[in-house]
Amino acid sequence: MSERKTHESDRVVLSVDNLRIHYATPQGDVIAVSDISFELYEGETLGLVGESGCGKSTTAYGILQLVQPPGYIVHGSIQVDCTEVLHLEEEELRKFRWTGLSLIPQGAMNSLNPTMRVKDQIIDVIESHEGKQNDREALRERIFELFQNVGLPNRIYNMYPHELSGGMKQRVCIAMGVALHPTVVIADEATSALDVVVQRIVAQTLVKVKDEIGVSLIVIGHDMGLLAQIVDRIAVMYAGKMVEIAPVENVYANPLHPYTQLLIDSIPSIKERKPLKITEGITHDPRNPPSGCIFRLRCPFAWEHCADAEPPPFNVEDKHEVACHLYDEQFEERRTNALATLANP
């Protein structure tokens, strides 16, 4: 495999600060995203992982201002190129969408309007942001170029979504997502509904297009193996909290948070058959999270202190942050012991 290009720029294109999203239910609010903060650099690919229900998709939809009721954003700040997304008026937001932030959706199967031709669904996004295109020939060429970028044949130009395969639909979504060269593209489980081979091809297409067009990308997924190959940095979420964020090599080689360790451990390996360490999902009531550390109920290393205080993000090495009390300097001894048990179970 060729050397992956990593981002060079230190310019922040997207910064999420203290974002909190709740879902209202009759029994009280479910905390889907709990005060998370992170930054995305220009040209970078950031992976957002975690088990189902950890809030990764909700985070994405929150950034896009698309949280569906009964969900709502409690507080936070989302800045794209210094534009505060949460303060945009309705019409400003409409114009900002797809030029500032675009989405490659989760269920590509149903994400295309079944009664519109593929071309019309790409044209409508172009025309609603750039006005009526009078040069139809140029418009067609532009769409063919997009098709070429994602490896789609020109013949699908006039087709309806139901005439395309799942992989093709997903590529149409990718072509659509980059059509206006947005600042940030968010791919929400863009490959989950596809079979393994197509998954890989689509993921590679995604990276290729991203590099060609030069956008910044957030990839949301749960397949650690697939993500490892396409992202620069990984953010790990658990129950609405961001527990660890680091360059991809660090996460795989040296996972710091006990949850990340479990996740990495759960990647299946052909060489050895090992029992799954993660045996249950998020166990606490999401309306009423435990005090202190969110992970302490499942954490093998938890002790009294974990219930008393919420761990702040500790900057362990360059660009490697982890929210776990083990990395507090005053608990160094405990950390050494914990890592020792991890090495010799």
Q: Are 323 and 295 in contact (CB under 8 A)?
A: no
Does the protein bind another protein through residue 53 (CB under 8 A)?
Answer: no
Q: How do beta strands 233-238 and 30-41 pair?
A: unpaired
Tell the residue number behind the tokens 């690919």, with chain if given: 45
Q: Is 181 in the site for another protein (CB under 8 A)?
A: no
- Does residue number 106 form part of the binding site for another protein (CB under 8 A)? yes
CB atoms within 10 A of CB 53: 15
Does residue 130 bind another protein (CB under 8 A)? no
Phi, psi of 120 (to 5 degrees): -65, -30
> Is there binding between residue 66 and another protein (CB under 8 A)?
yes
- According to the binding rule CB under 8 A, does residue 148 interact with another protein? no
Alpha helix positions (H), 254-326: 258-265, 304-308
CA distances from 4 to 130, 206, 212 (A): 34, 13, 13
183 binds another protein (CB under 8 A): no
Which region holds residue 218: left if phi is over 0, alpha if psi is between -120 and 50, else beta? beta
Least Å distance between CB 98 and another protein?
A: 5
Considering the rule CB under 8 A, would residue 345 count as an interface residue with another protein?
Answer: no
Whether 113 and 173 have beta carbons less than 8 Å apart is answered as no
| Distance, CA of 261 to CA of 94 (rounded, Å) | 41
Among the listed ranges 45-53, 122-130, 268-276, 330-338, the one in contact with another protein (CB under 8 A) is 122-130
C-alpha 201/C-alpha 309 separation (Å) is 44
* Residue (30 or 224) nearer to another protein, CB: 30
Residue 40 or 60: the one with the smaller Cβ distance to another protein is: 60
Kindly tell me which of 53 and 264 has the beta carbon lying closer to another protein: 53
User: Is residue 257 at the binding interface for another protein, with CB under 8 A as the rule?
Assistant: no
Give the DSSP H or E segment for 202: helix 196-213
Task: Considering the complex, state which of residue 36 and residue 248 has its C-beta at the smaller distance from another protein.
Answer: 36
Which one of 114, 131, 275, 345 is in contact with another protein (CB under 8 A)? 114
Q: Which residues contact 243 (CB under 8 A, 6 or more apart)?
A: 236, 237, 257, 259, 260, 294, 295, 322, 323, 324
Stretch that binds another protein, among 5-13, 27-35, 141-149, 326-334 (CB under 8 A): 27-35
d(CA 290, CA 255): 24
Q: Site map for another protein, 149-168, x if CB under 8 A?
A: -----------x-xx-----
Nearer to another protein, 144 or 314 (CB): 314
Does 52 engage in binding with another protein (CB under 8 A)? Answer: no
Q: Does 341 bind another protein (CB under 8 A)?
A: no
Q: Binding to another protein (CB under 8 A): which residues in 302-321?
A: 302-304, 307-308, 310, 312-313
What is the rounded CA–CA span in Å between residue 204 and residue 236? 22
- Among residues 87, 274, 287, 319, which is the contact residue for another protein, using CB under 8 A? 287
Contact present, 259 and 238 (Cβ < 8 Å): yes
267 interacts with another protein by CB under 8 A: no
Q: How far is the CB of 25 from another protein (least distance, A)?
A: 8
Choice between 180 and 264, CB closer to another protein: 180
Residues 6+ apart with CB under 8 A from 128: none
> Residues in the site for another protein, rule: CB under 8 A?
18, 22, 24-29, 31, 34-35, 37, 64, 66, 68-70, 72, 93-99, 102-103, 105-107, 109-116, 124-125, 128-129, 160, 162-163, 173, 176, 241, 283-285, 287-292, 294, 296-297, 302-304, 307-308, 310, 312-313, 323
